Structure 1
Amino acid sequence: MVYNVMVVDDAAMMRLYISSFLKSRKDFKLVAQAANGQEALDKLPDLPDLDLILLDIEMPVMDGLEFLRHAKLKTRAKICMLSSVTVQGSPLAAKARELGADGVVSKPSGTVSHDLEEKTGDELTRVMRALVGA
């Protein structure tokens, strides 16, 4: 089974790193990208088969927490926070969970983590597979 993923992150380089990470996982397919929460919300009606959203928190226009407030009404996709500010147990991670995030994974080295795959790849893969029931 292949699971459809949308990446929501304002940093174009981070979207590229996540895209590359997903390409190396045969069971996940990048089907959409957005640079902020509003752009992602606007795309949801066109993505009925979306399984998973990887979501940053700090973004212009609409941040990840505001996106969470609306997204659960518009999609059945699981949502995993992937942010440098959602360290496990942090207040922002707790707020994200309270607003409906299904999983939380920290970017390993800041906003644009070029080392995502090498430092967090196993954890992110495990969380993604658990969320989609793989």
Structure 2
Amino acid sequence: MPFNVMIVDDAAMMRLYIASFIKTLPDFKVVAQAANGQEALDKLTTVPDVDLILLDIEMPVMDGLEFLRHAKLKTRAKICMLSSVAVSGSAHAAKARELGADGVVAKPSGTVSHDLEEKTGDELARTMRTLVAA
């Protein structure tokens, strides 16, 4: 049975790239998508069986860091930051971990990374599998 994934990113094209990548992974399926943290929090009440959330940081209405402040009270899902500003060792990555992010993967080429699968796919798949196995 595949693990259920929610994608949270304000860029519709990026959500499409992430969902397309996840379709190549037989052990995961996308069950929800949201354009900002507030929408994601709202969806957690209607889509309760989310195992993993892939979360951008920079979004309107409610950003990823603010989402993290609320999410752990609403879900047991593992949360992986997938952001162009949360590169390993950055202040954003450290803050995300401090607020409860379980993993951090950098988008390879900015806000809308059309090359996600090609450049970061292996790392993202490995991180996703590690998080849901924990």
TM-score by length of 2: 0.98
Partner-residue secondary structure (3-state), 1:72 = helix
**Structure 1 spans left out of the alignment, 5+ residues:** none
Superposed, 1:12-51 pairs within 5 Å as 12-51=12-51
**Is 2:56 the partner of 1:88?**
no
CA RMSD of aligned residues (A): 0.8
Equivalent position of 1:124 in the other structure = 124
Superposed, 1:54-133 pairs within 5 Å as 54-133=54-133
- 4+ long deviations beyond 3 Å: none
Partner-residue secondary structure (3-state), 2:54 = strand
How far 1:124 sits from its partner (Å)? 0.2
Identity of matched residues, %: 84
- Amino acid aligned to 2:73: L
| CA–CA distance in structure 2, aligned partners of residues 98 and 46 of structure 1 | 27
TM-score by length of 1: 0.98
Q: Which moved more, 1:44-53 or 1:121-130?
A: 44-53
Partner-residue secondary structure (3-state), 1:17 = helix
Aligned residues: 134
Equivalent position of 1:52 in the other structure = 52
**Structure 2 spans left out of the alignment, 5+ residues:** none
